[in-house]
Amino acid sequence: MSTPADRSLDDTDPATGDPSVDQGAVLTDPGVEELLSTLDAELVGLVPVKTRIREIAALLTVEKLRAQVGLSAGPPSLHMSFTGDPGTGKTTIASRMAEILHRLGYSRKGHLVAVTRDDLVGQFIGHTAPKTREVIKRAMGGVLFIDEAYYLYRPENERDYGQEAIEILLQVMESQRDDLVVILAGYRDRMDRFFQSNPGMRSRIAHHVDFPDYTSDELFDIAQLMLDQMQYRLSERGASALVEYIALRREQPDFANARSIRNALDRSRLRQAKRLMAQRGAALTREALMTIEAEDIRASRVFRGGLEGGT
Amino acid sequence: MRITQGTFSFLPDLTDEQIRAQVAYCLARGWAVSVEHTDDPHPRNTYWEMFGLPMFGLRDTAGVMAELERARGTFPDRYIKINAFDSTRGVESMRLSFIVNRPAREPGFALVREEAAGRAIRYTIRSYAADRPEGERYR
């Protein structure tokens, strides 16, 4: 006698009498799968990171399914640490993570509050606790992303107020797990040292995700994606110039993966604009306005055997 | 005598669930929620002590509820209220204010008569709780 509407409420497996669970509904309904595939499509490389995120998403989905049939392992710990070199996409992934957690129902609002030491640690005695609490209150219901988290702990100064911020964070990470997900991010070796000196922090973080460096091919793909988004394109010779540029830039100091590429592209845009302005009188076609030529890239200092910082 | 003040003065005290729902409404409107406390129950006492700063930029009720729990832990025997401030230009004032905590025993008020010039009598009220210095009331 049941209508389709109420059958979904108490659907029992006729064989066992157990309530069966519609796995497809949980996976597709909140659009999680869709979110994960856009993650795959829009972010180049980062295979271990994407695998890890899929694992976490799967765990949370299964946890939800288990809750539907009355099994419970308690709320899962979702705090994470992202380690990797500069420009490997830690912040980008964190904001995607916030969205994924929101879709899965583990984060009520799904917003990302990105902070550094300055936002958490005060200038004088009694200043740190209210400051840290204010940030935590703003991040409640979402994700608190602490960039370069190791600066919170300064072993050389035992009166450093950072310790106080760490203690408040630890307390909230433990007692308000449903309200707040904390993601710590930073360079690999310094994060390792940070965790060694703060074992409490290490044990409260369930997921340690390591971001590998990009290969040259991946960096080129990233450049293509960035240019697409800015509605530029490379000429054929421009593309080969960029490949050479990437190979040279990798070997030079202060290389920051995707961030270096973004900076390089911004500068080639400048040179392109300058070049176009110089050809006074010639009609500027749509094509010309969009195209970055080899000379725009080859003018970089990188091709003249290096640089003193930057570029 | 049960003191009432503010938006829901005609209702019984709100439960935590109801408080959370009201706070969610305030945050959805973009109002800044703040917590204040006092132990002077006079009806004209509108300027209460702030418990921390007003909370701007919150997205979720959990932050406010945590702050309220801290206030209740610190001042279990005082009046505590939640205010919502609307910073919209031209409004810039409280939109909502309601009591969320009160002392276990509220002794009420005495009627005070003052002999004035002529045979006039002036009337006022005085809280029994306010006979003792601030901080020692409602112990």
Contacting residues of B for A141, CB less than 8 Å apart: 59-63
Say yes or no for a CB contact (<8 Å) between A137 and B67. Answer: yes
The average pLDDT across A267-278 equals: 90
Contact A138 B64 (CB under 8 A): no
Hey, CA dihedral for A260, A262, A266, A269, is it positive or negative?
A: positive
Which chain A residues contact residue B74 at CB under 8 A? none
Residues A180, B62: C-beta atoms closer than 8 Å:
yes
Q: Worst-scoring range by mean pLDDT, A22-31, A278-287, A295-304, B72-81?
A: A22-31
d(CA A83, CA B95): 45
Can you give the pLDDT at residue A243? 92
HSE on the CB side for B53, CA within 13 Å? Answer: 14
Q: Do A138 and B61 touch (CB under 8 A)?
A: no
Identify the residue among A140, A143, A182 best suited for mutation to test binding to B, counting B beta carbons within 10 A and taking the highest: A140
Q: Identify the pLDDT of residue A181.
A: 92
pLDDT of amino acid A21:
52
Instruction: Please list every residue in chain B whose beta carbon sits closer than 8 Å to the beta carbon of residue A130.
Output: 52-53
For the ranges A177-181, A292-296, B96-100, the maximum mean pLDDT occurs at B96-100
Confidence band of A6 (pLDDT split at 50, 70, 90): very low
Nearest to B52 among A111, A130, A176 (CB): A130
CB-based contact A134 B53, cutoff 8 Å: yes
How is residue B119 written in tokens? Answer: 């045979």
Q: What is the mean pLDDT of chain A?
A: 84
Give me the pLDDT at residue A70, please. 85
Interchain contact, B60 vs A109, CB within 8 Å = yes
Most A CBs within 10 A among B34, B59, B64, B70, hence the mutation to make, goes to B59
pTM: 0.80
Contacts of B55 in chain A (CB under 8 A): 134, 137-138
Residues of A in contact with B60 (CB under 8 A): 108-109, 140-142, 179
pLDDT digit string (tens) for A237-256? Answer: 999 999 999 999 888 888 88
Query: Among A25-39, A54-68, B62-76, which is the least confidently predicted range?
Result: A25-39
Radius of gyration of chain B (CA): 17
A13 pLDDT band (50/70/90 cuts)?
Answer: very low
Q: Determine whether the interchain pair B53/A130 forms a contact, defined as Cβ–Cβ distance below 8 Å.
A: yes
Residue A25 confidence (pLDDT): 52
Chain A CB contacts of B66 under 8 Å are 137, 140, 176, 179
CA atoms within 13 A on the CB side of A83: 16
Instruction: Convert the pLDDT of each residue in A203-225 to its tens digit.
Output: 889 889 999 989 999 999 999 99
Helix (H) or strand (E) holding A224: helix A216-230
Tens-digit pLDDT profile for residues A88-135: 889 889 988 898 888 888 888 889 999 999 999 999 998 999 999 999
> How many contacts (CB atoms, under 8 Å) link A and B?
42
Q: Which pLDDT value is given to residue B111?
A: 94
Q: pLDDT at position A166, please?
A: 92
Q: Which residue has the higher pLDDT, A280 or A236?
A: A236
Q: Flag the least confident range among A52-61, A142-151, B53-62.
A: A52-61
pLDDT over 90, % of chain A: 34
Which residue does chain A place closest to B51, by CA atoms?
A130
The CA–CA distances, whole Å, from A119 to A116, A136, B60, B72, B104 equal 6, 10, 19, 27, 39
- Contact assignment for A141 to B57 by CB distance below 8 Å: no
Chain A CB contacts of B23 under 8 Å are none
Q: What is the pLDDT of residue A12?
A: 45
Q: Do A140 and B63 touch (CB under 8 A)?
A: yes
What is the three-state SS of B6-34? ECCCCCCCCCHHHHHHHHHHHHHCCCEEE
Closest CA to A149 of A93, A230, A101, A205: A205
Residues 6 or more apart whose CB falls under 8 angstroms from that of A162 comprise A117, A120, A121, A151, A152, A153, A154
Chain B residues whose CB is inside 8 A of the A136 CB are 63
Can you give the pLDDT at residue A9? 41
| Residue A152 DSSP label | G
For B66, the closest of A108, A109, A137 (CB atoms) is A137
- Asked whether the predicted pLDDT for residue B74 surpasses 90, the reply is yes
- Strand order across the beta sheet in which A181-186 lies: A112-115, A143-147, A181-186, A80-84, A207-211
Tell me which of A72 and B102 has the higher pLDDT. B102
Inter-chain residue contact B63 with A176, CB threshold 8 Å: no
